[in-house]
């Protein structure tokens, strides 16, 4: 029996981002509307011998800009560092004070929580590989544990090794903000930050918190991350033209562009926002989640998990298919995802599917993995605010099997009231949130 949904309304009051298209929300939005692209040659490590030599990196960023106590975060992973900046920005917009033991913002920190979809922190690769090589007997193929242990003790920094844990981004944000309410972290691949926002909304609905700092942070632009995705043949290998490599829904699509970053939104009850007197940016009204229960690397061929999550979000919001103005697709630019996501949208929306703009900002932003859903949610809120739908760029050779309105190559000015944001991850993780224009 389905639980009765709380009547408490849930809103967004702050947004922050660090990403390949800019390290704040206004810069991101200007780049999106201008059709700029965040991809370029990989510089974080030497990728010249990899099948994919490019990525969408964060540029010109230093987390110390956002904290007076940089020493507390000195060992933080790249992703956790991004989370600090995104959280600081979101808190500033929402009127939440940071780094103080005596905040004057009137917020009970025991009622303010954190939910981040965050990935594993980047390895200290040099030390890790040195340790593994030193501990491997090339002839017998057996680990020589005493030798490996000695190398680990001399080469590896304990605090950095701790940063490989996915919950570290939430821990750093807690230190920054003083949030002492529910603390959650999920690592559900590309669907993680959408899950974080949806579950944060549910936590507030059931009375466990008044405010949640929600979103995601991730960086997999390192040798192991790129190797894994290359082995899965998930990454584009269009090395001669990184800026045109991400081409969702195109016939010539050959994989996604690996990105990185953090995106965080402040989610709170409307009553809390009104009590604090802060402006509301948008209202969260629906959340749906499912699993394909299929293969860990493939979506179900009928899109059953995606269909279930979309329908659950519509039901949670109390909407029909006619109510959605725009769909921000997962739109990765892989052969499988774009085909099955299109099928799922057609299955749910029927004849109306072709009438709903359904674009992918990954064509410009790249794929931020654990941070992707929250970053794209921010663009959904901005689309509502400005009445403009972002383009799917690089869509010059449409796949004839994919025949929805993908808003090709140029943003579209149009009224936008209700937006569906879809995120589908490796392992069959599916999460969908619905956001609408706030009406007091």
CA dihedral for 314, 315, 317, 322, sign (positive or negative): positive
Quickly state the pLDDT bin for 139 (edges 50, 70, 90). very low
The answer to whether residue 218 is catalytic is no
Quickly state the pLDDT bin for 166 (edges 50, 70, 90). confident
Per-residue pLDDT averaged across 161-189, rounded?
91
Q: Which pLDDT score is estimated for 397?
A: 97
pTM of this structure: 0.93
Rounded to whole angstroms, how far apart are CA atoms 35 and 277?
Answer: 35
Q: Which pLDDT score is estimated for 164?
A: 75
Q: What are phi and psi of 377, to 5 degrees?
A: -60, -40
Residue 261, strand partner residues: 218
The answer to whether residue 131 is catalytic is no
The answer to whether residue 222 is catalytic is no
pLDDT surpassing 50 at residue 1: no
Catalytic, out of 190, 218, 222, 300: 190
Q: Which pLDDT score is estimated for 137?
A: 47
Q: Which pLDDT score is estimated for 163?
A: 74
Catalytic, out of 19, 131, 330, 380: 330
Per-residue pLDDT averaged across 182-202, rounded?
96
pLDDT surpassing 90 at residue 339: yes
pLDDT tens-digit readout, 69-110: 998 898 888 999 999 999 999 999 999 999 998 999 999 999
Among 431, 433, 427, which residue's Cα sits nearest to residue 189?
427
Quickly state the pLDDT bin for 121 (edges 50, 70, 90). low
Rounded to whole angstroms, how far apart are CA atoms 372 and 182?
Answer: 23
Domain ranges across the chain: 10-122+163-436, 125-159
CA dihedral for 440, 181, 310, 335, sign (positive or negative): positive
pLDDT surpassing 50 at residue 373: yes
The reply to whether CATH 3.40.47.10 applies to domain 10-122+163-436 is: yes
Rounded to whole angstroms, how far apart are CA atoms 379 and 30?
Answer: 11
Catalytic, out of 172, 218, 300, 367: 367
| Secondary structure (H, E, C), 69-120 | CHHHHCCCCHHHHHHHHHHHHHHHHHCCCCCCCCCCCCCCHHHEEEEEEECC
Pull the structure tokens for residue 404. Answer: 């929805």
Q: Which pLDDT score is estimated for 285?
A: 98
In the chain, the percentage of residues whose pLDDT exceeds 90 is 81
Pull the structure tokens for residue 137. Answer: 């007997």
pLDDT surpassing 60 at residue 129: no
Pull the structure tokens for residue 437. Answer: 């224009």
pLDDT tens-digit readout, 54-70: 999 999 999 999 999 99
């Amino acid at each position: 029996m389905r639980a009765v949904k709380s009547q408490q309304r849930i809103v967004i009051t702050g947004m922050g981002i660090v990403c390949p298209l800019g390290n704040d929300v206004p810069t991101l939005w200007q780049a999106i509307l201008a059709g700029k692209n965040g991809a370029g040659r990989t510089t974080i490590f030497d990728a010249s011998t990899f099948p994919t030599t490019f990525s969408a990196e964060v540029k010109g960023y230093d987390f110390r800009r956002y904290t007076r106590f940089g020493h507390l975060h000195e060992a933080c992973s790249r992703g956790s560092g991004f989370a600090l900046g995104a959280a600081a920005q979101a808190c500033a917009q929402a009127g939440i004070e940071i780094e103080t033991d005596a905040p004057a913002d009137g917020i009970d920190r025991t009622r303010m929580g954190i939910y981040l979809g965050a990935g594993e922190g980047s390895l200290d690769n040099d030390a890790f590989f040195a340790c593994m090589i030193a501990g491997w007997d090339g002839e017998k193929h057996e680990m020589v544990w005493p030798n490996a242990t000695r190398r680990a003790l001399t080469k590896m920094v304990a605090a950095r090794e701790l940063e490989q844990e996915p919950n570290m981004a939430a821990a750093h944000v807690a230190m920054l903000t003083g949030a002492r309410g529910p603390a959650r972290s999920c690592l559900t691949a590309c669907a993680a930050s959408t899950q974080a926002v949806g579950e944060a909304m549910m936590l507030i609905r059931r009375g466990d918190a008044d405010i949640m700092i929600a979103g995601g942070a991730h960086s997999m632009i390192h040798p192991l991350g790129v190797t894994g995705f290359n082995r899965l043949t998930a990454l584009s290998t269009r090395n001669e033209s990184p800026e045109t490599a991400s081409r969702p829904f195109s016939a010539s699509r050959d994989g996604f562009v690996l990105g990185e970053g953090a995106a965080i939104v402040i989610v709170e009850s409307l009553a809390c926002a009104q009590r604090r007197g802060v402006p509301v940016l948008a209202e969260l009204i629906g959340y749906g989640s499912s699993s394909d229960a299929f293969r860990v690397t493939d979506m179900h061929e009928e899109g059953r998990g995606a269909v279930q999550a979309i329908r659950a979000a519509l039901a949670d919001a109390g909407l029909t298919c006619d109510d959605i103005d725009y769909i921000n697709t997962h739109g990765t630019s892989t052969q499988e995802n774009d085909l099955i996501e299109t099928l799922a949208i057609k299955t749910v929306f029927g004849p109306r599917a072709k009438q709903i703009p359904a674009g992918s900002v990954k064509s410009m932003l790249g794929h931020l993995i654990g941070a992707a859903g929250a970053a794209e949610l921010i663009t959904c809120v901005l689309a509502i605010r400005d009445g403009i739908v972002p383009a799917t760029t690089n869509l010059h050779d449409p796949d004839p099997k994919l025949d929805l309105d993908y808003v090709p190559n140029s943003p579209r000015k149009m009224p936008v009231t209700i937006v569906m944001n879809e995120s589908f991850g490796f392992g069959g993780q599916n999460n969908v949130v619905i956001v609408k224009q706030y009406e007091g």
